[in-house]
Structures are given as structure tokens and as C-alpha cells.
Structure 1
């Protein structure tokens, strides 16, 4: 039994999947019917049975997956399949063509691209056009000559940057390396794969962490190793880099330069190559832009670093204004954000590329946080004179999202979990926040890197890991860093299965508590107490349910009862009190919340004035909010929140938030509404509430 092209593609997806593969996903990706998918799955199962492997598994109609035994053995069997049976995606074809162009010193022609990607001339030509656009983005030019073929012209620094991106795509794609045995100069020299050189190079990088006084993320070490592979390959071809003298002087005094020097000495020793000062500075720039799990570096820095700390504070301030929240532990947030923004700054400064595979997930699952972050990062864009790409914004949004979820959750914890994450602080913290909200009876004791987990012992009951990992005695579940609804259901089912498994060797926790109560007190109804203790410590599937947070639309909050008109108020305090009356009347807030809003302005200044003429007074949820709400007050005459012209207010929208997140959708819709001057004209000139209500409805979708 052999596999055709489509079945081979589907099998590779199943082998590489860290989550369930759904039929809907396959039909959408391949453009085939569900019936065809089921036919292909049967064909794969027949092939697996022929090879004496466990067939495809299914989980309660949620999706398909392969056993670990099958995943482990399939790649070796698939190497025996003919190469034409694997269908490269367009992204993969573009990657292969890009590598061919940037590594082949011999003449390269269209037929070489066709042979490499196994597609027609027309398809290869379309793929080449995409490659050309990527080259242009890096200020590189593709020249063609009938005798010499295609040649990439431009700065060596830019070539390496693009080549690193392409090679990262290949060396993190099992389908392109292990399974299909793709051969090209940068991955294979004679009979030895340069892929195998990544392991010793990774160790070289790990060895300089004490000099850097940081722990680099696992992902960062992988990417740095790939960039050093690129450097070695280019040096072997006598392609050397030349940096600006001012840039070299700027980086040569850093701790990272010392580490880069040590790395270069190791590379020279192992690979018999000579690295110039320019190459050492090139490595330094990449180290400066590397993401870390933690840092021992003191708070004191040069003028550039101190300016960056000011920028971090400004970004947090802007985020609080746009999100209408107040972070309780702001200094801790700023320190965590600085730890991430420092390498972001150097990546922007030295054009070090970064790819965030979670960007799309962040935009989909946390659209409001992403949007607010994008508006709040202008201080660092001003400092660098560069726009932050979405991949960088997504990382910052993950930091804010994690901090917004950071709160003490009530309840007794009956289990301990740890998160193993190779992607850094922001990623692990946002996953921690999601799990804490989902599993309220499980204490997430911390987040560690893969290396920390392997080298240490932890007293835990569950392990959640963002990459496959094994543990001898503790159950491990591989999860996505950004949890979808399906991911959450999968986690709950997994926890239920573990908690419902009897363990005769352990005395039930409820029995222990019962004996302690008997020893120190009187029990009126022993059976009722035992039932409640069993329910608390041995939760049934009904107690493990996903809490769904409904985020109200703008028109759910602003309507006939919460909109007011007034001629004027005596001062800004009276304006806040008047604007709050609808929420007070409906008992959505208490009078203490009004006092808290006024005190915030007295203590912090007129920060609630978000734009000329517009103020959004608010305080923390615990200061008197009962349910989420908004109320709008339009004044005919402005009321001053300070002596400055920009603090003269005609429109007040009081916000009562129950947490850091529930109000964000309505707030985003309000922000869109207020950003248009014609909408403000309608609000300021309207004589009927209906005019504003229609406007609110227009933006509530």
C-alpha cells in the first residue's frame, strides 16, 4: 500500500501537529470535501496497518491525532517514499528558492527552481516574484543574465538577514528537513548535514550566558545558532561583512561584545575560520536583540538605556489611558516590560529580524489588547524613528495581556502545575494567566524554561508545555501558548481524566480534613460535610467547566438610561458626580467609586482627559463597582480639569469596569466612534438622545 501526494501531505500534518487536527481545517487548507478527507484518512490508516503501526486516533469528535509511537516511526518510513509525493506549500517553495539564490555560487536558472520545488515553470515564476519582493524589502536586487543566471546584489548584512529568515523556516520545519530529506548547500555539505552543527553551536551560546548574566529563551538559542550557521557558511564562501565604524564603536563597549568575542574564539577553534572585528560586532548586534527568560543585569545603564526606561514608563502610561485601567503593580510591570523592550529596541536599531509565530493568535484571541498596544507604543517608535512591526507589537501585547490577568484567585488549590515554555517571559505569563482562570482549583506554581525543567526537580501534579516533553512520573500536556476555546476544552478533559483516575496509595484529602475537624471541633452533619469535602477536593466534570466571559457591546452600556445632557457644572468634581448618577441609580456603582474617581484625578492629575474636550473618569473595580457600566454626560459649556486649554471638557464618559478585560470591546468601539470629528459634532450639537443612540449602534458590531 502506497500513499499519494495528498495523503502524504495530510500524514505529515498529523505527525507534526501538537494539537488535534480537525476535518474543517484540512478541508479549508486543501480545498477538498469532508468525504474526501475521510477517504484519505482511511488510506493513511491502511498504510499504517501495513507498516504495523497504531492507526489515527480520534478524540470525542473534536479532531484527530497520532500516538507517540506512530509519530516516532513515520518519519523514517516516509523517507522511503518518492520525493514527488510531497506537495510543498507556496511558503515552503518561496523559502527553498530564496535559499537557492542566496547560497549557490554557481549559475542558477529557472529550471533549478522548478527541480528544487517540483512545480511547473508557471508556478515557479509566480513564486520567484514573491522572492523578489522579499529581496526588495531588504534592499536587495535580483539580476538576471543568460550566461550567469540569477544573482542577488546588495549588502552582505542584508543577505545574511534574509538568509537567516529562510533558514529558520527550514530548520524548524520537520517536513522540509527530516521527513523529505531536502538537500541544498546550506543544509548539507557532502555527507554531513550542517543541521547537526546546531547542537555544538547551541552549546557555545549557552556557555556565554554567565557573561551576559541572562538566561536566553530556548527559541532564541535556536535562532542564534541558525544565524551563526549562516555566518559560517558565508565566511566559507569568502562573503564578509563590513559595518559602519560608529556602530562598531557603539557595541564594542557592551557585555554582549565580550560574549560575542568568546563565541568567535570557539567558532575559530572548531571550524578553522578567522572572524574579523566586524563579524564579532555582527554577532554582538544579534545578542543585543536576543529575548531572555530572566536577567541579572542591574538597573543602572548608559544614557541610551535610561532613555529606554523612560520610554517604557510612557508606554505603560499610554496603555493605561487607552485601556482605562490602573495597574496595581506598575513598577513590576515596567521592569518586566523593560526586560523585553530592551532587545526589541536593539533589533529595531540594528535591523535584526524576528518572527513571532503567535502574532495571528494574539490578534485573533486578544484583538482589543493588540489594538491598544499598537496605539500605546508610539514612544519607542519615536525613539527609534521606526514603526514597530506586528510581530514585535504582538510580543508586547502578550506582556500586557499577561499582566491584566495577573490577580490573586480565590479558592482552595488541590493540585499544583508548572508551565514549561521555551518562548520567553511574555508568552509563558499569558499562558499562566489563561490556565489560572480556567483551572481555579489548580495552583500554577511557576513558569520555567525547558532547560530548567530538565535539570531540576519540582513538586507538582501536572505539567503544561508549549513543546513536546516527557516526565517519568508527572502527566504532561502539550498546549498552545494562546488558548482557543477548543484548547480549553481539551485541557479540561485531560484534567478530568487524571483526577478521575483512582489512586489507592493515597489517602483522600477529604478524609484527612474530616479527621482534623473531628479532632478539633464538633460536626453537626457528618454526611453533608463529607459530601461537600468530596465535591471540593475531587471535582466532578460538572465543576470543571469553561467560564465564558461575555464582553458587552457599546450599545449594551450606552443607551437611553445612561445618556445625559446638562448646561454646565460648577467644577470638574461636580461633573464627575453628575455623569455618574445613572450608574449610581442602577446600583452598578456605589458612592465610594465616585469618591475614588475624584481622588485619582487629585492624586494623578487630569489623566482621564484622553483628548481635547473628552474625559473618561474611572477607578479600580474593587473601589465600588458592582457590574460593568458606562454613562455619558454632554455639557453645553466646558468644565476645566486644569488651567490648560487641552483639559477643557464638554464630554464625560464614566467607565465602571469589573476587571481589566470585560470592558475592552465596548471601549474599543467607543474609541473608534470618538476618533471621527463628524461624530463629535453630532454629539456636541444633538438635542435628542436618539442622535447619540443611533451613533452608538452604528459602532456596536
Structure 2
């Protein structure tokens, strides 16, 4: 990271005159309070990347500067900052792209050599890298004698590129002056658009981030310049009705009040630009334009709390912060306008762990938007959540982190992962892994659960895939004694704090939390509660009766296969028709339902329409294609009312799935009784091993 010209001058001023006040600097450099704050933040970012203490400001506008900063920077400040006359190849590439996107004249090689002060051979070499960069946007850099060098391709992609390049150039040393020189943009134009943007802020009751306020005038001026030259967006994927009634569209109209000839498609694009711009502050946020956004974020937070074993305090404030970021992110992701984020320095181990847990909790947002969440957006969300955790003194670094390693397939591994997560709610469970994935796993962890022995220097606990109540009791006792030396109480301290805060005022919440944990964690073994009358586990032949078996030669589609398989349970009232639809939706999202060769177990949540526990089986002689990878002969529908009663039958079904001979026999027979007889064999085997 390098400082631009203005930030560099302000840092020099602070080093040479540490008693200077904010007001003096604002007057001397003709800055607003907001612009100075932005520069100080940039300077602190630069100090941080150079392992130097940050500059602080008092309420009276004075600066507190650590002596280390003076000793390192006084007299030889320039040694720390890139020489602005020497440009690296990647910087030259960005400046060439800027000229191609923003120049008002036809460009030849001479233009680039003069402006960048390098040889023609260097420019020709840089042009190859320019094309590599353009390949990411499916664009081409072409030369003709008549028009010189031009970027050709879809105008929507060119706009995405333009936005990215403006940001990258402004991050360079003297970036603003370079940008103005190479594009011919004047100070008066910038100031005019800044005033227009500030009026937009007032209309929308928001404040854009300082970074966006710096880049938006340049971006908008260059967009309008392209429109004037005839480079307009021809086909636009956003429908007029989707954005025309938003406040941002009204703001666009005011932003372009004197430009009546701008077509509607371009007004929609600029509206989208406003919608995708990060805000620092927003008043009276509503989700009118993005229905269900609030509930999706709330669900995401609850999933994160569960996986990270924490409870967020001042939750509404955190929700507001996330909403302010995620609303523009919604449009960025939906219309593929996501920025690339650059984080200076190496990421801490804890940040990587939090980002991993965020990525595992983000499914509700993915479903709402209908697209994968890019890594850059996940990183932004991680920064917000991680910062909030630091604010309330939370750290997953101090928690026990566990992984589950299971060689018996994805579905079994996830079942084991879910059971252990519930058995040890105070642990952070990072992942369920195959043995191969385990050998290359990068995140830090403390303990491993596995049904088989593994070579590891971490604590390894051998656990059966499916645990009965007594086995769970013994495993929890064993693990807790080895990890803590005692059996911690299962009561959730954060939930206790929530109840206490409802009816009283707590002066020191952190101290209260520590004392409650100390008190509860030294309770005796009664903290582990046994169920007096656990529900009776059912065998495979009890669950899949002859009445629940359907034999067909073939079906036309996966959806038909699920409906045929579920029909006996549907007709007997064990499930509702909506449960079948829920199973089909779930199976489209994840192939973990395949438990073995040719066997799949579609299922959904109990609340999606389950009235009683049950299983049904469809056998197909000709397999139905589930995905490109999986062809299925056996579709076994599972209706579960709890996490226990169907587990024994499922374990027996998996043993059947591992027998090629019995699978083949069941595929070839035309007798329902014969299929049930095969399933009964595995019920007997399991009973024999458990007695």
C-alpha cells in the first residue's frame, strides 16, 4: 500500500509539526472534516502495514503520535514510500487501462510511452498484460489506424472494468493527480459532482463511505463521457419496474437533472451504481426494495452464533451495521458487480477461522440472492462480525475447536458432525472431513472425532458414527474430563445473561459472565442429563414394511422418482404433500443425500410436513440420473420426527448399501417380499451386534 499525494503531505505535516491541530490542517489544505478523517484513516492503514503505531486524535482535534513513528520517519520518510516516478508493471497496466477507458483522443503507442515515460518495447510488453486483465471481463484491446487502441466488448463489462480501474488508480501514489492528467478531468468537474453526490446523500438520508465518495465523481464523469461518445448499454438485465420506484432512482434523476438526453437504461445503470455503493451511515433503513433481507441476515447470525459458540450483545446495532453493508452487496452480487477486496498483510489465524464460520453460515443470503456469495463479500461480512466480537470481548481463539473425520461418505459424516455439535455445544466445530481432506486441512484445531484411528498430534477421540444415549453420556464425560479435568455444566451462560439483562441492570457484564462460568463449570456430573425414557429405536424392516416398498422398471426424472418413493408415506398420512416438495428442493441444492452406490435418501426438516416417523423405498431396475455424477436405483424417503428413532434403521440401510451382492439382488427381483427379506437380514445383523 502507498499513500497518495495529499495523505503524504499531511503525514509530513504531522511529523514536522506534531502540535498542529485538525482545524489548522483543514484550513491549510482546504479540506473538510470528513476529508481529513479519510486521510488520517489512510495514513493509519499505511502505518499498520509498516508495523508502526497508529496516530490518535483527541476530542479537541490534537494528535497523539508515538515516538516510534518520529524515529522511523523523521528525515527519511521517503525511504518508506514508493518513488512516485517509478511505476511497477501492474501499475502501468492500470494506467493504460485508464487511458483506454477515459481518454478523449485516439491513442497510439506514442501516447502511452510519453505519459508513462517508458520505452515502446515496455509498452508492447505491458499491452500483453493488459489483455490478460481484460480476459477476466471477456473484453479485447484492438488497434486500428483509424481509431487507435480501443477496448471492445460488452458495455456492461466495460463499466465494471472502469469502476475497478478508477479504484485501483486512486490507491496509487499521486493517484488522483495521475487520474485527472490522463483523463483530462478538471477540478471544477470533480467539485460539481461532489456537490451533486452530497445532495443525493441528503435525499437518501445516508452517508457514503469516504472511499466511495472519492471514487464516485470520477466514475460518474467517465460513464457520462462514454455515453456522450455513443458507448451505451444496449441490453440491460434489470427491469424498469424493479428499480424505478426506489429512492435511488429518484436520486439519479436529481444527479442528472441537466442531462435530459440520458436514456432510461443508463439511468437504471447509475441507479444500480448508487444501490451497490457502500454506506457509512443510513437513517430509517427499510427492506422494501429487498424483501426478506432482514430475516435472512438474522438467520445467518443465529447460525454463526451456534457454530462459533457465542451470543451477540446489542444485536440490533449489529443487525443495522450488517444491513447497511449487505443491502448494496445484494445488488453487487445479483448483478455481478462485486469489487475485489485487497487486504494488506497476512491474515490472522483467528480471522481465517471466523471467515470460515461465516462462509458456513451464509446459506440464507445465498438462497435469497440466488447466487454464490463471492469471497470478497464474505470477507467484508467477516470484518463486521469479527469487529463486533472484539468489541464485546469474544474470541473463538480461546474456545476448543474440533473437526470430525469420517471415511464413510459425506452423508454419514454430516450426521456425525451434527450429533457431536449438539453433544458439545461449547466447542467450535469447524468441519466434517474425509480422511483425504483431513490430511491437507489448513485451519488450526484442538481435537479430532473419528470412528477410526488417525495419525495426528492433536487429541483424538474415537467415536461410533451413531451414538445411543448411554454412549453419548460416556463420550461427553470422557472428553470433558480429558479437556478440562472436570465435567462442565451444560447451561448456556449467554442465555442466562440475556435473562438477567431483561429484569436488571448489569454494571460489569464481562465480570458477571466470568463468575457465572466459574460457578457453573465446577458442578458435578449431574450436569450431564440422561433421558429417562428415550424413544425406541426402530429397525430397518420395521420402518420399511412391504406396504412402503415400490418396485418400478424406470421413471422419467429425479423429481418423479422422489414422488413415487414418497407415495406410500403420503397416502398413509405420515407426511404431508408439502414435505415431498421440500425434499425435491433440498435434493437440488446438495448431493449429500447419496449414501452409497446407487442409493439416495431424500429428506427435509420435520417442520416441513412430517406427522410421524417413517421410511419408504422405491426400487428402479433402470437407474434415474440424479446428477451428472450419480445414477440412482434405490430412493429411500426418510420422515424423521426427532434425531434418534430413525438412526438405527439408517445405519442398517448403510450396511445394505455396502453390499454389492444384495443390492444387485434387490435390483433384479420382481418381488416386494424378496426386497423386504433382504432388508430384514440387515435388521437381524444389527440386532446381533448390539446385543
Q: Normalised by the size of structure 1, how large is the TM-score? A: 0.49
Sort the Cα spacing of 1:300 and 1:343 in 2 relative to 1 into closer, same or farther, 3 A: closer
Partner of 1:381: 366
Q: Matched residue of 2:151: which SS?
A: strand
Q: Structure 1 residue aligned with 2:489, among 577, 583, 593?
A: 593
Paired residues for 1:161-172 under 5 Å = 161-172=160-171
Q: Which stretch of structure 1 is more off in the superposition, 195-204 or 339-348? A: 195-204
Paired residues for 1:584-663 under 5 Å = 584-585=480-481, 588=484, 591=487, 593-596=489-492, 624=520, 641-643=643-645
Paired residues for 1:498-647 under 5 Å = 554=446, 563=461, 570-571=468-469, 574-582=470-478, 584-585=480-481, 588=484, 591=487, 593-596=489-492, 624=520, 641-643=643-645
Given that 2:212 and 2:278 are in contact with CA atoms closer than 8 Å, whether structure 1 keeps it comes out as yes
Q: Matched residue of 1:256: which SS?
A: helix
Partner of 1:437: none
Paired residues for 1:95-244 under 5 Å = 95-104=94-103, 106-145=105-144, 148-178=147-177, 184-186=181-183, 188=184, 193-244=185-236
Given that 1:590 and 1:624 are in contact with CA atoms closer than 8 Å, whether structure 2 keeps it comes out as no
| Cα offsets for 1:437-472 (capped at 9, x unmatched) | xxxxxxxxxxxxxxxxxxxxxxxxxxxxxxxxxxxx
Distance 2:296 2:350 in 1: 27
Shift in Å, 1:319: 2.6
Shift in Å, 1:223: 2.7
Partner of 2:267: 280
Distance 2:112 2:384 in 1: 42
Q: Matched residue of 2:490: which SS?
A: helix
Given that 1:588 and 1:625 are in contact with CA atoms closer than 8 Å, whether structure 2 keeps it comes out as no
Q: Structure 1 residue aligned with 2:380, among 379, 395, 400?
A: 395
Given that 1:638 and 1:649 are in contact with CA atoms closer than 8 Å, whether structure 2 keeps it comes out as no
Sort the Cα spacing of 1:155 and 1:553 in 2 relative to 1 into closer, same or farther, 3 A: closer
1:65 aligns with 2:73: yes
Shift in Å, 1:395: 0.7
Distance 1:391 1:229 in 2: 26
Distance 1:247 1:137 in 2: 26
Shift in Å, 1:363: 6.5
Sort the Cα spacing of 1:138 and 1:14 in 2 relative to 1 into closer, same or farther, 3 A: same
Partner of 1:460: none
1:261 aligns with 2:286: no
Partner of 1:520: none
Partner of 2:335: 350
Shift in Å, 1:648: 7.8
Shift in Å, 1:94: 0.8
Distance 2:224 2:338 in 1: 18
| Cα offsets for 1:265-320 (capped at 9, x unmatched) | 1xx2xxx7743323322221011112223322354525xx2333343234324433
Q: Matched residue of 1:351: which SS?
A: coil
| Cα offsets for 1:592-648 (capped at 9, x unmatched) | 523559x99xxxxxxxxxxxxxxxxxxx9678458xxxxxxxxxx999834465998
Sort the Cα spacing of 1:308 and 1:214 in 2 relative to 1 into closer, same or farther, 3 A: same
| Cα offsets for 1:50-104 (capped at 9, x unmatched) | xxxxxxx995599722589x99xx99xx9xxxx9x81112222011110122234
Given that 1:312 and 1:334 are in contact with CA atoms closer than 8 Å, whether structure 2 keeps it comes out as yes
Given that 1:90 and 1:127 are in contact with CA atoms closer than 8 Å, whether structure 2 keeps it comes out as yes
Tell me how many residue pairs correspond in the alignment: 418
Given that 1:168 and 1:226 are in contact with CA atoms closer than 8 Å, whether structure 2 keeps it comes out as no
Partner of 1:251: 243
Shift in Å, 1:252: 0.4
Distance 1:223 1:644 in 2: 58
Shift in Å, 1:257: 0.9
Q: Matched residue of 1:150: which SS?
A: strand
Distance 2:98 2:444 in 1: 49
Shift in Å, 1:139: 2.7
Q: Matched residue of 1:143: which SS?
A: strand
Given that 1:593 and 1:623 are in contact with CA atoms closer than 8 Å, whether structure 2 keeps it comes out as no
Sort the Cα spacing of 1:570 and 1:369 in 2 relative to 1 into closer, same or farther, 3 A: closer
Distance 1:383 1:595 in 2: 34
Distance 2:280 2:251 in 1: 18
Q: Matched residue of 2:292: which SS?
A: helix
Distance 1:406 1:120 in 2: 52
Given that 1:14 and 1:66 are in contact with CA atoms closer than 8 Å, whether structure 2 keeps it comes out as no
Given that 1:290 and 1:343 are in contact with CA atoms closer than 8 Å, whether structure 2 keeps it comes out as yes
Given that 2:166 and 2:215 are in contact with CA atoms closer than 8 Å, whether structure 1 keeps it comes out as no
Shift in Å, 1:346: 0.7
Distance 2:447 2:70 in 1: 35
Sort the Cα spacing of 1:219 and 1:139 in 2 relative to 1 into closer, same or farther, 3 A: same
Q: Matched residue of 2:239: which SS?
A: helix
Sort the Cα spacing of 1:643 and 1:89 in 2 relative to 1 into closer, same or farther, 3 A: farther
Distance 2:240 2:337 in 1: 15
Q: CA RMSD in A?
A: 5.0
Q: Normalised by the size of structure 2, how large is the TM-score? A: 0.50
Shift in Å, 1:250: 1.0
Given that 1:569 and 1:575 are in contact with CA atoms closer than 8 Å, whether structure 2 keeps it comes out as yes
Sort the Cα spacing of 1:252 and 1:273 in 2 relative to 1 into closer, same or farther, 3 A: closer
Given that 2:100 and 2:107 are in contact with CA atoms closer than 8 Å, whether structure 1 keeps it comes out as yes
Shift in Å, 1:230: 1.6
Shift in Å, 1:370: 2.1
Larger radius of gyration: 2
Q: Matched residue of 2:207: which SS?
A: strand
Shift in Å, 1:343: 0.8
1:307 aligns with 2:292: yes
Paired residues for 1:433-452 under 5 Å = none
Distance 1:93 1:590 in 2: 62
Given that 2:448 and 2:461 are in contact with CA atoms closer than 8 Å, whether structure 1 keeps it comes out as no
Given that 1:362 and 1:370 are in contact with CA atoms closer than 8 Å, whether structure 2 keeps it comes out as no
For structure 2, the residue ranges without an aligned partner over 5 or more in a row are 13-38, 52-64, 398-442, 450-455, 497-515, 523-536, 540-641, 653-691
For structure 1, the residue ranges without an aligned partner over 5 or more in a row are 1-7, 27-56, 410-429, 435-550, 601-619, 627-636, 651-701
Sort the Cα spacing of 1:353 and 1:127 in 2 relative to 1 into closer, same or farther, 3 A: farther
Given that 1:132 and 1:142 are in contact with CA atoms closer than 8 Å, whether structure 2 keeps it comes out as yes
Shift in Å, 1:196: 4.6
Q: Matched residue of 1:64: which SS?
A: helix
Partner of 1:320: 305
Distance 2:99 2:354 in 1: 40
Given that 1:139 and 1:154 are in contact with CA atoms closer than 8 Å, whether structure 2 keeps it comes out as yes
Shift in Å, 1:348: 1.7
Distance 1:589 1:641 in 2: 30
